Amino acid sequence: MSKIIFNYGTMNASKSAQLLMTAHNYEEKGETPILVKPSIDDRGEYPNQISSRIGLWAEADLVDYGNIRKASIKDAWEFNEKPSSILVDEAQFISEKTILNITSFAREHNLNVFAYGLLKDFKNQLFDSSKIWLQESDNFIEIKTTCKFCQRKATINARVIDNKIVTEGPTVVIGAEESYVSVCRYDYEKYQNEEIKGEQNGNL
C-alpha cells in the first residue's frame, strides 16, 4: 500500500539533504526514485538540479512549471523501470494540480511519496500548497532545527531586512537583498521591534 509522507521543517533544517540521502538509499537497493522539484527553485548550476547547502545534488526527473500531468509522471516512472517512490523537493512551491496528480498516481500504482518542504511562510502562515500536502498525506514528519538566536526549537522562517524581522510583503521574493533565518516564536516577535546585533546574527 502506498504512503504519502510530508516531511516539513524550517529553512536550514537539511530537508533537501535528507531527500538526496533518501534517494541514495533507494539507489543502493537498485532503484532510482522519481525526483520532482518546482521551477521557482533556481539553486544549483542547472534548473533541473535538486541541491543542498552541503554540496549534494541530483538531477530531477520532473520540474513543475505549473502542472505536471499524470502522463509525465507515468513516462518518468516507466523510464526509471517503475521505481516504488517519488521524492518531492521544495514541496511548498509545487502546484496544487501537480500535488493531486502525484498523489493520485502514487495510490493508483502503489508508490510511496516523500515530500520535503516548508510548512509556513515568513508571515507564519501556512503555504497554500503545504495545506494540500497536509490534506493528502498519510503521515507528517517534522525535521527539527534550533533557533538562530537561542537553543529553542525553530518554528518560523523569518525574513530579515535592515537587521529587523519583517512581517509584511510578498510571500515569494526572487533575487531580493534580504535574508531568511529560522527562529523560535519568542525571537520572531522580539526582533520585529529590536535590531539584530551582528554578533548574534552570524552570517546575515
Q: How many residues does the chain have?
A: 204
Catalytic residue, candidates 90, 168, 178, 195: 90
Count CB neighbours of 188 within 10 A. 22
Respond yes or no: is residue 136 known to be catalytic. no
Cell readout for 44 is 544549483
The residues, ordered by sequence, that sit 6+ positions from 109 with a Cβ below 8 Å of its Cβ are 2, 77, 82
Separation of alpha carbons 192 and 203, rounded Å: 19
Contact 112, 85 (CB under 8 A): yes
Q: Which helix (H) or strand (E) holds 87?
A: strand 85-88
Positions marked active-site: 90
